[in-house]
């Protein structure tokens, strides 16, 4: 690990943080830290970094991957990356730390859950719940069907088992992130990068709403039961069961969100 350079963001060029592909959020990291393709690389880079924070790819107190690595993964210059990190620093999302273990660390703290916060999210993002939920259902049930039809390799089965176990053993504070990773893993295993990217974007919008709601342990237990049913249907190569399990799971979270906002 080297000393950080004189960049405004203060990112070091050492080993990446736990949010890289080797960590539990690897699939989410791959979806978020993909090459920037638009004509405005600064704005899209800021959006990608914000997505990483909001999805929990880089959690509170964690460090973003090393500057050189992150710029390469996003396909942007280090100048663009530094400007983007500086913008997030000015907005209070990250802080710069220098020295041997320096870098850009996440300081963002999620707002306290409340109905007014959830309503604010809806208003500020212009989210239409019917549209959001329909899009999510199409992506997630579609992923489950594709996996059930094509079957899993031993390595894929092992990865899915690890992700399921991680969610079931998660502490309440880490549940949302690991739940997100499980869902994105189902998309990733289809082999469709487009599907994974689309679900990442949809999941971020759903998480914004869920984060504004209190975590209920009983709901998490019910969610874990549904997760097991979804994974088992995929393992059994049963597309119909996979659709039923996915639909039941999604309908549950949709009802929870609608009920909270009512």
With a CB cutoff of 8 Å and minimum separation 6, the contacts of 239 are 144, 145, 148, 149, 233
Cβ atoms of residues 65 and 78 within 8 Å: no
pLDDT of residue 197: 87
Domain residue limits, the chain: 26-106, 115-261
Q: Packing angle between helix 172-188 and helix 217-235, nearest 10 degrees?
A: 20
**Which tokens in the block code for residue 241?**
């069961």
192-225 residue pLDDT tens? 989 988 998 899 889 889 888 888 888 899 999 9
39-93 residue pLDDT tens? 899 999 998 999 898 888 888 899 999 999 999 999 999 999 999 999 999 999 9
Mean pLDDT of 29-33: 83
84-143 residue pLDDT tens? 999 999 999 999 998 888 899 999 988 888 889 899 888 888 889 999 999 999 999 999
Percent of the chain surpassing pLDDT 90: 57
- pTM metric for this prediction: 0.77
The CA-CA-CA angle for residues 47, 13, 197, to 5°, reads: 30
Choose from 3-12, 137-146, 173-182 the range with maximum mean pLDDT. 137-146
* C-alpha to C-alpha distance for 193 and 202, rounded to whole angstroms: 14
With a CB cutoff of 8 Å and minimum separation 6, the contacts of 8 are 82, 83, 85, 86, 96
Residue 40 three-state SS: coil
With a CB cutoff of 8 Å and minimum separation 6, the contacts of 242 are 141, 144, 145, 147, 148, 230, 233, 234
The CATH architecture to which 115-261 belongs is Up-down Bundle (1.20)
Are 26-106 and 115-261 equal in CATH topology? Answer: no
The CATH architecture to which 26-106 belongs is Orthogonal Bundle (1.10)
* C-alpha to C-alpha distance for 224 and 172, rounded to whole angstroms: 13
Q: Packing angle between helix 115-125 and helix 239-261, nearest 10 degrees?
A: 110
């Amino acid at each position: 690990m080297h000393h950080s350079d004189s960049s405004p963001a203060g990112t070091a060029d050492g080993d990446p943080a736990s949010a890289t592909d080797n960590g539990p959020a690897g699939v989410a990291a791959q979806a978020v830290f993909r090459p920037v393709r638009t004509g405005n690389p600064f704005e899209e880079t800021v959006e990608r970094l914000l997505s990483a924070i909001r999805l929990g790819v880089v959690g509170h107190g964690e460090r973003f991957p090393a500057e050189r690595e992150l710029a390469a993964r996003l396909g942007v210059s280090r100048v663009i990356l530094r400007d983007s990190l500086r913008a997030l620093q000015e907005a209070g999302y990250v802080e710069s730390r220098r020295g041997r273990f320096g870098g850009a660390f996440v300081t963002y703290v999620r707002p306290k859950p409340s109905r007014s916060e959830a309503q604010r999210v809806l208003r500020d993002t212009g989210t239409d719940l019917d549209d959001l939920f329909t899009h999510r259902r199409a992506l997630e049930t579609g992923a489950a069907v594709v996996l059930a039809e094509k079957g899993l390799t031993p390595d894929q089965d092992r990865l899915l088992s690890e992700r399921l176990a991680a969610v079931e053993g998660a502490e309440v504070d880490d549940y949302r992130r690991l739940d997100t990773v499980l869902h994105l893993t189902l998309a990733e295993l289809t082999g469709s990068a487009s599907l994974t990217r689309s679900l990442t974007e949809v999941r971020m919008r759903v998480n914004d709403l869920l984060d504004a709601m209190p975590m209920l342990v009983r709901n998490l237990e019910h969610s874990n039961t549904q997760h097991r049913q979804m994974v088992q249907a995929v393992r059994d190569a049963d597309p119909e069961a996979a659709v039923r399990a996915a639909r039941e799971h999604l309908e549950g979270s949709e009802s929870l969100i609608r009920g909270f906002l009512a």
